[in-house]
Amino acid sequence: MRRHVQTLLLTLTGAGLLHTALLTDTYLRYVKAGLRPPLIASGVILLLLGLALGLGSGLPAVTRGGHRPASHGDRDPAYDRDPAYDRDPAYDHAPTHGQEPGHGHDHTAVPRIAWLLFLPALSLLFHAPPALGAYTAARANGKPLALRGGFAPLPATSPLPLTLTDFSRHVQQDRSHAVRGRTVRLTGFVTPAGEDGGWYLTRIVFSCCAADSQTVKVRMYGTEAPPADTWLAVTGTWHPRGTLGTATAEAALDVADARPVARPVNAYTDDLPLTPS
């Protein structure tokens, strides 16, 4: 790949990373918030490498000892004068001035496929890939719940704000049945359940980045499915199916009220419900 193409690719990639991580919140679609400093550092390094490569390509090439390298067609005069000169047969067939090596083929040209490397760099600047949402969640298995040894008493607040993970744990692991009859409020986005017309309230959670994302779903009953990817704050009570406090209990809610909320800036955590708009 030619030097100026390498320079442009490094510069664009560095600028794209800085634009994504420093000037916008787009990076939160792909990685956790804690990885912002490494992204910024990577962008700065790539920019500096691009600038250094660009400046270096503008300097004349110098060989060891300060001599200019031989150009096409240059030959050491001693080669012709001294019969004892150790001739390399390849030297006799070296291209003369004005000729290209390889029988006229330019091997320094940039392969066409190399231009595809510019697509991800340009996408960071002008058209970032879409965020994960209902399409991904509908095809993912639910996040396995870590076992908990005990649960603190729930506040008397009504409706009680809970994360989808905490609600699911209380339904399937809390032997005190603390959520029975309690009105709770959960927040997430809508994921269609399939052909039966049902739907889930969903959160996608990053452990590190989008590649290791996990999905938390709570089945909703009692209302028609809103449009996919709609963010809602849903109020209701546990839908009795299975034995509460065991793995047979379904993490599900009988919906009493559902109100739209704005998509949070960092949508890939399972935080407490937002205030309905």
| Same domain, yes or no: 150 and 175 | yes
Structure confidence at residue 59 (pLDDT): 46
In-domain check, residue 70: no
Structure confidence at residue 129 (pLDDT): 80
Structure confidence at residue 83 (pLDDT): 52
Structure confidence at residue 61 (pLDDT): 43
In-domain check, residue 103: no
Residue 25's nearest CA partner among 207, 234, 264, 244 is 264
Total structural domains in the chain?
2
Where residue 168 sits, what CATH number does that domain have?
Answer: 2.40.50
In-domain check, residue 271: no
| Same domain, yes or no: 122 and 154 | no
168, 145 Cβ separation under 8 angstroms:
yes
Residue 262's nearest CA partner among 248, 245, 276 is 276
Location of structure tokens 């634009």? 19
Backbone angles phi, psi at 199, to 5 degrees: -155, 160
- Domain of residue 4 covers 1-62+110-129
Mean pLDDT by 10 residues, the chain (277 residues): 79 88 88 91 91 72 48 50 50 49 54 78 82 91 76 91 95 93 96 88 92 93 95 97 94 97 91 65
Structure confidence at residue 85 (pLDDT): 45
**Nearest-angstrom CA–CA distance, 172 and 218:** 12
Q: What are the residues whose beta carbons fall under 8 Å from the beta carbon of 58, sequence distance 6 or more?
A: none
**Nearest-angstrom CA–CA distance, 85 and 79:** 6
